Amino acid sequence: MKLDIHTSSIEPRRQTYAHVARRLGDRPASRYDEAVLDVQATANFHYRPLWQPDREIYDVRRTAVVLEDWYVLRDPRQLYYGTYNLSRAAMDQGTERALAFIEQRGLLAAVAPSWLASVASYLLPLRHYEWGANMNAMTVADYGYGTAITSAAAFSAIDRLGMAQTLGKIGLLLDPTGDVLDRAKASWLEAPFWQPIRHALEDTFVLEDWFEAFVAQNVALDGAVHGLVYRAFDRAGMDHGAAAISMATGFMTEWMPDHARWVDAVVEKAAAASPENRALLSGWARKWSARAVEAARPLAERVLGGDAAAAVDRVAAEAADRAERLGLEREAAR
């Protein structure tokens, strides 16, 4: 049976905005396309920034990467504000349930106490790492060129803050007084096995090129640190009854591939645009991946002991595979 509701129809005079139509033709556009394409101002700026008088407000010269069209950096997830929040609210609902469940059933009691102590030392200080990653994401939202990159970067900044807060909540689950978080911060600031990571992260804060900061953070540091914590350490926890920790960090394991889809698309598109871009991005990926892998080694040794070398080799191999998949060069051109 077909229902036939009668409505009056009026022919639209145009299907989308002209700037979208110039790119895609005058046909109905997706909400992502309308929300993002050419929204940023590009011409006739009035004043130069007091904080950077040799640059325009939005300026392609804030990175050495050169693109003719900055809207090739589309987000394959097609996130605009509405879909972003709907997606994250849904993901977070799982975490919220998991945390409540863990607390109600006292599931942390099933985790070997020695492993719980290890969790407190490797997982909780990571919230500061995420806060640092938030800074780098804001750098991209601030200095990036074009709405495609700045909007997705702003979303990822809030993702990072959200994950930092989730880690804080896990800390409060381990210790409702919150003292454990103070100890985790002290460890982040002083424990020798955290220092190379913190050092690398602080060095990314002062990079002048936002695209380099993007690669250093999202490809190199995340590749090593997240790869170890949420894959290698999580697997090791299984032997210590740490299923509750896997549940509590479900957001992060769901987030990682989602985030990587975007990061990979950005790097791949920028690298494909010119040999110069490719060389630049390859150099950054090599430099920062090498540093990130070595920086994460003491953390891996602390948590995995004798199994650390294999785990570190694995994240290094993953970084190399990823670089190849994205069309980056393994070695500097001679």
Partner 1 sequence: MAAATSAPRRLSLKRKYAMLTRGLGWETTYQPMDKVYPFDRFEGIVIHDWDGWEDPFRLTVDAYWKYQAEKERKLYAVMDSVAQNNGQLGITDARYLNAVKLFLTGVTPLEYAAHRGFAHAGRHLRGVGARIAAQMQSLDELRHAQTQIHTLSHYNKYFDGLHDFAHMHDRVWYLSVPKSFFDDALTAGPFEFVTAISFSFEYVLTNLLFVPFMSGAAFNGDMATVTFGFSAQSDESRHMTLGLEVVKFMLEQDPANVPIVQRWLDKWFWRGYRLLSLVSAMMDYMLPKRVMSWAEAWEMYFEESGGALFADLERYGIRPPKHHDVAKKEKSRLSHEVWTILYNYTHAAAFHTWVPSDDEMQWLSSKYPDTFDRLYRPRYRMWREAAARGERFYNDALPQLCNVCQIPMAFTEPDDPTKIAFRESIWRGERFHFCSDGCKDIFDDEPEKMSQSWLPVHQIFQGNCGGASIEDVLRYYHLNIGADNLDYEGSPEQELWDAWTADRRTAR
Query: Binders of partner 1 among 24-43, rule CB under 8 A?
Result: 31, 34-36, 38-43
255 binds partner 1 (CB under 8 A): no
The residues in 180-209 that bind partner 1, with binding defined as CB under 8 A, are 181-182, 185, 188-189, 198-199, 202-203, 205-206
47 binds partner 1 (CB under 8 A): yes
User: Could you give the CA distance from residue 1 to residue 266 in angstroms, rounded to a whole number?
Assistant: 48
User: Could you give the CA distance from residue 286 to residue 290 in angstroms, rounded to a whole number?
Assistant: 6
Q: Which residues contact 118 (CB under 8 A, 6 or more apart)?
A: 303
| Interface region with partner 1, contact rule CB under 8 A, candidates 108-116, 123-131, 232-240, 290-298 | 123-131
- Residue 133: CB minimum distance to partner 1, A: 11
69 binds partner 1 (CB under 8 A): no
- Residue 36: CB minimum distance to partner 1, A: 8
Q: What are phi and psi of 75, to 5 degrees?
A: -90, 115
Nearest 5°: CA angle at 57, between 56 and 63? 70
Which tokens sit at 292?
């990130």
Among 25, 45, 97, 276, binds partner 1 (CB under 8 A): 45
- Residue 165: CB minimum distance to partner 1, A: 5
318 binds partner 1 (CB under 8 A): no
Among 63, 118, 121, 166, binds partner 1 (CB under 8 A): 166
108 binds partner 1 (CB under 8 A): no
| Interface region with partner 1, contact rule CB under 8 A, candidates 80-88, 227-235, 241-249, 283-291 | 80-88
Among 66, 76, 86, 330, binds partner 1 (CB under 8 A): 86
| Interface region with partner 1, contact rule CB under 8 A, candidates 16-24, 109-117, 231-239, 313-321 | 16-24
17 binds partner 1 (CB under 8 A): yes
Among 60, 161, 173, 256, binds partner 1 (CB under 8 A): 161
327 binds partner 1 (CB under 8 A): no
- Residue 131: CB minimum distance to partner 1, A: 4
- Of 27 and 334, nearer to partner 1 (C-beta) is 27
6 binds partner 1 (CB under 8 A): no
